[in-house]
């Protein structure tokens, strides 16, 4: 059964792309700033709307990487 989209799942593609950018920046520099996301091509509105979900997804991926190491 599919659930109705929520604020966190309505645009999963952008959340995945933003999470990818966060993981890449974090792995390369140890952190990811709003400026990093802007430089990756995300707008201020996209960061505001999807940043929290993307940060959560990125944190989960980074935890998995750390556990595997």
pLDDT one-digit tens code per residue, 26-68:
999 999 999 999 999 999 999 999 999 999 999 999 998 888 8
In a domain, 8, yes or no: no
In a domain, 57, yes or no: yes
pLDDT value at residue 65: 80
Q: Write down the residue that tokens 């593609």 correspond to.
A: 13
- What gap in Å lies between CA 29 and CA 49, rounded to an integer? 24
Q: At residue 1, does pLDDT exceed 70?
A: no
- What gap in Å lies between CA 54 and CA 65, rounded to an integer? 16
The number of distinct structural domains making up the chain is 1
Domain, as residue range, for 40: 25-68
In a domain, 15, yes or no: no
The pTM is what? Answer: 0.79
In a domain, 11, yes or no: no
């Amino acid at each position: 059964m599919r659930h109705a989209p929520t604020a966190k799942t309505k645009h999963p593609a952008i959340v995945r792309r933003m999470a990818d950018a966060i993981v890449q920046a974090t792995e390369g520099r140890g952190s990811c700033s709003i400026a990093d996301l802007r430089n990756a091509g995300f707008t201020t509105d996209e960061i505001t709307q999807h940043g929290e979900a993307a940060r959560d997804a990125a944190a989960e991926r980074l935890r998995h990487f750390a556990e595997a190491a």
